Amino acid sequence: MTVPTWMLLGFALWTVVLLVATVGVYRWSRILTGRAAIREFREYRIEGDEWYKRAMRAHANCVENLPVFGAIVFALHASDTHSPLVNSISIMVLVARIVQSLIHVSFVQTNLVVSLRFVFFFVQIISFFWLALIILRHVWLGA
């Protein structure tokens, strides 16, 4: 497997780990200790501790960006585009995603924390565009 494919797998696994380690632990601990019934966790009425709400949003962020990265990795594969730069950028996407998620879940969202979280989101967006440009250059110019 290529490095971008491994990073895509890592992104998918991070999405699941984040769900299980935050939302899953929170919900099941409340259910198993009798503090909440399983039916109380509604999709459109998110209640609970602030970090739990942030965990829900952090997981949703992963779910929203996973198909984008997946499409880019597919295009890399389909166009046979590979280089050390592509590998480095792909690694940067996963690292930035993990750091962004951890900042989102772990800290009260002050202006400083949100700004820092945004920096790691922005790294991912720039990386997506950069990878897309590398693909287009490879396909159009054969470079």
Q: What digits encode the pLDDT tens for the residues 66-119?
A: 999 999 999 999 999 999 999 999 999 999 999 999 999 999 999 999 999 999
- Report the CATH number at residue 11: 1.20.120.550
pTM for the full model? 0.90
Identify whether the C-beta of residue 55 lies closer than 8 Å to the C-beta of residue 105. yes
What DSSP string runs through 54-92? HHHHHHHHHHHHHHHHHHHHHHHHHTT---HHHHHHHHH
| Number of structural domains found in the chain | 1
pLDDT over 70 (residue 143): no
Lowest-pLDDT range of 9-13, 45-49, 55-59, 76-80: 45-49
Residue 32, pLDDT score: 84
Residue 30, pLDDT score: 82
Residue 27, pLDDT score: 82
* Tokens 């720039």, located at residue: 126
Show the domain range for 41: 3-141
